[in-house]
Structure 1
């Protein structure tokens, strides 16, 4: 029987997110409504007419040609044959790991990170070593540590760029060094790229534009603000894409015709979505930064223009107990650091609606100071 650890962050959110009045735990940039999406087209009825006229058959099994063209445009050296549609980035990560990893393989995973990237390989019988992010170094990993971990048996290196929960971004130069290390042993590099920096001048690129054995996974759930349509994708070289196709047939048939249609619409209106979200990130970060300056019980390594952050709380209790009491007493939801095996921290998603963020931060401060002895 396959054994796998409980999925910390998902288990927490499944239990508590619908109980929250002020949810500042999520890493999605405030979700769009259908009305807001429709307003992005010059013809305001275009989206509704398209949906109403769409036949609800199986559609295109691995994503419509229009969807695959739209995704391919996001990269420098990608064509449609390198793109496969998945059920979110979680489906893409599962597909990549399931297709590549077998018992006895060696996998290196960034840590802390999204739990799929290390616990799925473990469940398949791989030996997993952690490549640690160091808070004292701005939540950045050390390349010499990666070089020391790599062996001739290393099959896969798993990264999350930008990182969930810390918001750390590995720039082009750093990622190029990772590629050099991986290439020495012909290891694949899987990068979950669902978080895209929207503020700042980081020189960021996709792993598939750097490395012939790179695998990029992504979705519309975070930076594009439509997690509800559950559309993601995986991009890699043609040879590996063909292998993934065979495994994909066992994990899903299609993502759903309306979902594909909406995903393509969002990508076709990508610039409007990103402009809206860039404003939200900038405005909310200014609010968050002012609050941090005035809040002595919270410290933060600033995220690199992405929607997730991982502050440290100056409290005497574990963060699971604290977050439960916070939710019960104030309606404010955070994700405890224990969900990422990093106690003492919480995930705070500052890209909720402005009013939710302001109310949530104010109540968090009051609770922190009224419970200092706990």
Structure 2
């Protein structure tokens, strides 16, 4: 099993500590515990008293009943028995691919997208076909292209909805057609769903609610602003859950008593967190839109209120060189699009601190206009 370097993570690991203005990350501004309890309006000390009574043993191996019940509420046709807790969404993606894909299997992956979804199947000896997104389709792929790629023996189709780095969303009608294609050959659909849309007019169902062989992956890292506890999950049918359960024993054992307890609490109060995050996203998106309007050397197909954006920059040098220049000269960190295989673009996370965003965008303009 041989894996290439993880392009985005390698970039962030190398450079993020140098940045004074980090707009590379695509989570929504991380919560402190004080922030969380201010949102819920509940007694922080009561939470810690309850936590203090818990033994720091292995806890609930698959996730506590409270955790699994709260997660199941987020789906329409899923019960607690169909939920498995994982080490973030990255752990969930790894588990699903590791458990279901064997050497020689045919896998179709959205491309570009989160690197796990195509490089892990490759490392296991799968034959991976790329279902490429198209700029002219607002960074969505073409379903007719998928029809050309799919084979009678196709084992799995991997998607990231909304897509990282583009923020492009497959809506309900698109997903229904995708399901009909997968169903014809009996392929699983693995859907990484960590980036929701905060657009009230968007309807984006979970794949597990649409398809009997759909596998939905999610976590608390993006929409619920708690990446630090590294808790995610998989929702799938009972047959797949049974398979994953056996493989999970090799990859995780458990997430941890404290992480589970805090994750369960956050899920119980997710509406308060989502309300806070919707405001952050809306306010900061207005800042980004205003900058794009004024900055002649930048343009973007903006997502429908998703926390990541993919911005085109008019520069006459490799985009990675520009991003290093921007970091060294102005302290601003972006992810070069080359880390996703696309030149001339950057991934820009706009859902952090609003003042940092405003200052960072001014600094990007400075460097663009010095070139």
> TM bucket by the smaller chain?
over 0.9
> 2:28, 2:366 → 1: CA distance?
25
After TM superposition, where is structure 1 displaced by more than 6 Å over at least 4 residues in a row?
none
| Deviation per residue, 1:108-156 (Å, 9 max, x gap) | 0001100000000000001111111101221111110001100011000
Shift of the alpha carbon at 1:3? Answer: 1.3
Report SS of the residue matched to 1:212.
coil
Shift of the alpha carbon at 1:55? Answer: 1.8
> 1:55, 1:345 → 2: CA distance?
49
The corresponding residue for 1:57 is: 57
Q: Does 1:8 align with 2:7?
A: yes
The corresponding residue for 2:24 is: 25
Q: Does 1:358 align with 2:351?
A: no
Q: After superposing the two structures, state which structure 1 stretch, 3-12 or 85-94, moved more.
A: 3-12
Gaps in structure 1 of 5+ consecutive residues: none
> 1:179, 1:46 → 2: CA distance?
46
> 1:294, 1:50 → 2: CA distance?
52
Shift of the alpha carbon at 1:52? Answer: 2.9
> 2:48, 2:333 → 1: CA distance?
34
Paired residues of 1:89 and 1:233 also in contact (CA < 8 A): yes
> 1:285, 1:200 → 2: CA distance?
15
Q: How does 1:252-271 map to 2 (within 5 A)?
A: 252-271=252-271
| Deviation per residue, 1:302-334 (Å, 9 max, x gap) | 112110001111001111111111111111000
Gaps in structure 2 of 5+ consecutive residues: none
Paired residues of 1:38 and 1:45 also in contact (CA < 8 A): no
Q: Structure 2-normalised TM-score?
A: 0.98
Q: Does 1:147 align with 2:147?
A: yes
> 1:46, 1:91 → 2: CA distance?
31
Paired residues of 1:199 and 1:282 also in contact (CA < 8 A): no
Q: How does 1:169-248 map to 2 (within 5 A)?
A: 169-248=169-248
> 2:50, 2:270 → 1: CA distance?
18
Paired residues of 1:28 and 1:223 also in contact (CA < 8 A): yes
Q: Structure 1-normalised TM-score?
A: 0.98
The corresponding residue for 1:329 is: 329
Shift of the alpha carbon at 1:43? Answer: 2.5
Q: After superposing the two structures, state which structure 1 stretch, 132-141 or 158-167, moved more.
A: 132-141
| Deviation per residue, 1:197-238 (Å, 9 max, x gap) | 012411111000000000000000111100000000001000
Shift of the alpha carbon at 1:291? Answer: 0.5
Shift of the alpha carbon at 1:4? Answer: 1.1
The corresponding residue for 1:320 is: 320
> 1:200, 1:301 → 2: CA distance?
19
Equivalent pairs counted in the alignment come to 370
Shift of the alpha carbon at 1:168? Answer: 0.3
The corresponding residue for 1:36 is: 35
Q: How does 1:287-298 map to 2 (within 5 A)?
A: 287-298=287-298
Q: How does 1:289-308 map to 2 (within 5 A)?
A: 289-308=289-308
> 2:182, 2:260 → 1: CA distance?
34
